[in-house]
Structure 1
């Protein structure tokens, strides 16, 4: 999977592509509307990039204090954009990383 459009199209599948990194799997489950499964993907991860996805998920949940904690762990600032825009930004970031 190389593009945002391909990633979005994959949301019609029953399961995420097995080759996706944990962050993209989390975003895939979130894209399917399964917040809890998305959260479970990154909940036990300790890297900064998983913390960034974790932050987004808590922002989506409405738990801003917890989201800000995770943004801090990710060395990111809570963005001033819609949740949909942030989701797309994250997907594009991780797809680009997978290409590198």
Structure 2
């Protein structure tokens, strides 16, 4: 999978592609409407990439304090983007 369009097309499948990183699997489940499964993908991970996705998920949940904690762990600042735009930005970043 190389493009955002490819990733979005994969949302028609029942499961994410096996070759996806854990971060992309999390974003895939999020796009499918399964926040809890998305969160479970990154919840126990402490690397910067997973922290960034974790931050986004808590922002989406509306838990801003927790989101800001994870943005800080990821060395990021909470963006002034819509959630949809941040999701696309994350997917594009992790597809590279």
TM-score bracket, normalised by the shorter chain, equals over 0.9
Unmatched segments (≥5 aa) in structure 1: none
* Residue number in structure 1 paired with 2:63: 63
Q: Structure 1-normalised TM-score?
A: 0.96
Structure 1 runs, 4 residues or longer, greater than 3 Å off = none
In structure 2, stretches of 5+ residues that fail to align are none
* Structure 2 length-normalised TM: 0.99
Deviation at 1:88, TM superposition (A): 0.0
Report the aligned-residue RMSD: 0.3
Q: Deviations over 1:34-88 (max 9, x none)?
A: 0000000000011000000000000000000000000000000000010000000
CA distance in 1, matches of 2:68, 2:80: 13
